[in-house]
Structure 1
Amino acid sequence: MQTLAVAAISARAMAEAAAHDGFDVVALDLFGDVDTRRAASRWLPIGAPASLHIDAARVLAALRALAQERESGAPIMGWVAGSGFEGEPGLLEEGAALLPLIGTAAAAVRRVRDPAAFFGFLAARQLPHPPVRFEPPESAEGWLQKDAHGCGGWHVRRAPWPAEERHPAHRYYQREMPGLPMSATFIANGSDVHVLGFNALSVRRFGARPFVFCGAVGPVPLAPELARRVAAIARALAAAFELRGLCSLDFMCDGEAIGVLEVNPRPPASMSLYHRPAGAPGLMQAHVRACLDAELPPATPGHAQDIEGMEIVFARRAVQLDAAAARRLAAWPGIRDLPDAGQRFDIDDPLCTLTASGSSAAQVRTLLNDGRERLLQSLETLA
């Protein structure tokens, strides 16, 4: 059995997908949730949970130890980098020097997350995107400040912008666009893509942060011409920036208008919404084949599947998860990223993830919203 290491702020989705595909999994993340450790043969911590930030020294130490095992004959293929690494191309480069990186190369991540290079490419190809500038606009109204190295929407701000965050090279300003935030989940091989489907994204305000990612529902239908345009954009980006493996393209959809926002050049949270047909390679197998052999799944019509949804549940107040609360969470239907007893959460910390499925996006969204509120109320009764 081949061993695959998966690393991210939260590696549960990748760990479960890799275990489902027959890999022995080593999971590296911040949380070490119950289901992450259930899917993996080993879990290695790479940061403090409350920080939501990957500790580079811990990552390199873990990869160094795995590389030594590989040199001693252990069947370790390499490692897959997930959420949290898109803003760390230097760390990806150092990690890849220790253990093969199975995914978009560090140099390509650096280019695609460089706002000047990314939006310069879109402009040169006349691909639709909201206006972007690299100096603060004279009038801040209608503009957002973004960090190209951020993830999860925590970095997006409306004015007034924090003075201490003024001019890093990866900071830029983007005109706010109306419409529905969406994404396309796809597999790339460096020149072409296989689009798994399109997703409606859920974002909410958390204090001064107006667009924090809270979940996704998919696959959702998109008008054929819009779907063709988004797929063509993903294909153009994959070829220009040498994207490999599971990725996602975030965009706004306003009627027939679309506006490209960013590419996540790594396995996205939305991967958990998709199931491969019986007999076809699973998602992590497909990721590995696309990266190592440039092989994409066949371009066949999408197989029928329920619409799936996932919703990150954030703490509404500080909570210490005692044994009774942990048992109640473990029994909750559709729960993922299950924390263990004894963990403490501050306000706005991610507690867990809820999942639901149904015949329509509206039904799934209702199930998720109702489930979130009932779960939070249930926890509060145990306080």
Structure 2
Amino acid sequence: MTLLAVAAVSARLLAEAAARDGFEVIALDLFGDVDTCEVASRWFSIGTGLKIDPALTLAALQVLAHRGDVSGWVAGSGFEGHPELLAQGAALLPLIGCTPESVAAVRDPARFFDTLAAHGIDHPPVQWTPPADTGGWLVKDAQGCGGWHVRRLSSPGVAGALPPHGYFQREQPGTPMSATFVANGQDAAILGFNEQIVFAFGARPFVYGGVIGPVPLAAAVARRVSHAVRSVTAAFSLRGLCSLDFLLDGERVSVLEVNPRPPASMALYGEQRVMAAHLRACMLGELPAIPTTAPAPRVQGSAVVFARRPLALDEQAALRVAAWPGTHDLPCAGTHVEPGDPLCSLSTAGATAEQVRTLLSQGRKALLTSLETTA
């Protein structure tokens, strides 16, 4: 059995996908959730709070390199803002995914949006100098993730100066969407299209809260998204599981960014052996065959459950979370969360995206109420 390391802010999804596809897994993340440790043969802590610690990450990879039996490591969420850490880690243990150079390039806003323009791909207007009228403009950090870095320029306390790797982008209407794909450096196969769950949290208007899919798109829209995926794949030599975020307004597709690593939406496509497909694409250049005549798959969804108030989970509360239908990323007894911290995640399925969205919302509220009333 091939031994594979997976690393992310939360590595549970990667670890489960790898184990499901027949790999032995070592997990590196910030939480050490119960279900992560159940599926992994070993767990390493690589940070605290929501921040990856480079020193801890490199120390863990050094330990794995010395073992001599780990085939490589897959970097997930949280590493897109650390191309230098990816390069240092790749020098210790083979990195299976986009190269550090590709990650740095595709997350460089000037290069990314210039590439979109060169290929005739629509995107919301961007600029690097503060607009004269702040209304309708966002401030973004190209190396951020999860939407926590996005602020409205007109919000109180948001300065006009750009943060490192920042840019201004015009706010635009549309449904937040994504395309999940597997790339081999030159071409890509799209696994499916998804609706994203996005909500406002305080002064942060677009925090990522989950994903629902696959959802159908009109043929013309699907062609535009496919053109964007294949264009950025070739331009930035993307490899493995990735996703492209876009806004859909009618039939208008406006591309926002690319996540050059396995996305959360991979959970919706587990039956397609996504981790095995990731490795084959990265190491052999093979792309998965996407069936065109298969019946429409059942719509699935997953959502992050963020705490609404401070919670200290004793053993009974941790067991209640674990027993709740569809819960994942299960916290250990003794975990303390503050408002806005991720508590766990929920998954469900249904006939339509709207039904799944409703079920996730109801389940999240009911779980939080159960924990808050017994705390």
TM-score (normalised: structure 2): 0.97
Q: 1:253 to 1:147 in 2, by over 3 A?
A: same
Q: What is the DSSP-based 3-state SS (H/G/I as helix, E as strand, rest coil) of the residue aligned with 2:140?
A: strand
Q: What is the DSSP-based 3-state SS (H/G/I as helix, E as strand, rest coil) of the residue aligned with 1:267?
A: coil
Residues 158-198 of structure 1: per-residue CA shift (max 9 Å, x gap): 02465678334410011111010000000000011110100
Deviates more, 1:228-237 or 1:156-165: 156-165
Which one of 71, 96, 101 corresponds to residue 95 of structure 2?
101
Q: Read off the aligned partner of 2:287 and give its amino acid letter.
A: L
- The structural deviation recorded for 1:276 is 2.9
Which one of 276, 291, 296 corresponds to residue 300 of structure 1?
291
- RMSD over aligned Cα, in angstroms? 1.2
Q: 1:163 to 1:217 in 2, by over 3 A?
A: closer
Checking the alignment, whether the CA contact within 8 Å between 1:196 and 1:302 is kept in structure 2 is no
Counterpart of 1:16 in structure 2 is 16
Which one of 259, 270, 274 corresponds to residue 275 of structure 1?
270
Q: How many residues align?
A: 373
Checking the alignment, whether the CA contact within 8 Å between 2:151 and 2:158 is kept in structure 1 is no
Q: 1:179 to 1:16 in 2, by over 3 A?
A: same
Gaps spanning 5+ residues in structure 2: where? none
Counterpart of 2:200 in structure 1 is 205
Residues 305-338 of structure 1: per-residue CA shift (max 9 Å, x gap): 2100001000000000011111111110000101
- The structural deviation recorded for 1:302 is 6.5
Q: Read off the aligned partner of 1:32 and give its amino acid letter.
A: G
Checking the alignment, whether the CA contact within 8 Å between 1:10 and 1:29 is kept in structure 2 is yes
Counterpart of 1:171 in structure 2 is 166
Q: Read off the aligned partner of 2:16 and give its amino acid letter.
A: E
Counterpart of 1:32 in structure 2 is 32
Residues 201-252 of structure 1: per-residue CA shift (max 9 Å, x gap): 0111111111000001000111011011101110010000000000000000
Checking the alignment, whether the CA contact within 8 Å between 2:3 and 2:71 is kept in structure 1 is yes
TM-score (normalised: structure 1): 0.95
CA distance in 2, matches of 1:302, 1:212: 36
- Asked whether 1:85 is paired with 2:79, we answer yes
CA distance in 1, matches of 2:126, 2:257: 12
Gaps spanning 5+ residues in structure 1: where? none
Checking the alignment, whether the CA contact within 8 Å between 2:135 and 2:154 is kept in structure 1 is no
Checking the alignment, whether the CA contact within 8 Å between 1:129 and 1:261 is kept in structure 2 is yes
Which one of 50, 55, 59 corresponds to residue 57 of structure 1?
55
Which one of 324, 335, 355 corresponds to residue 332 of structure 1?
324
Q: 1:164 to 1:41 in 2, by over 3 A?
A: farther
Q: Read off the aligned partner of 1:52 and give its amino acid letter.
A: L
Matches within 5 A, 1:118-129: 118-129=112-123
Matches within 5 A, 1:215-294: 215-276=210-271, 282-294=273-285
Q: Percent same amino acid among aligned pairs?
A: 59
Residues 109-161 of structure 1: per-residue CA shift (max 9 Å, x gap): 00000000000111122210000001111111111000000000000000246
Q: Read off the aligned partner of 1:296 and give its amino acid letter.
A: L
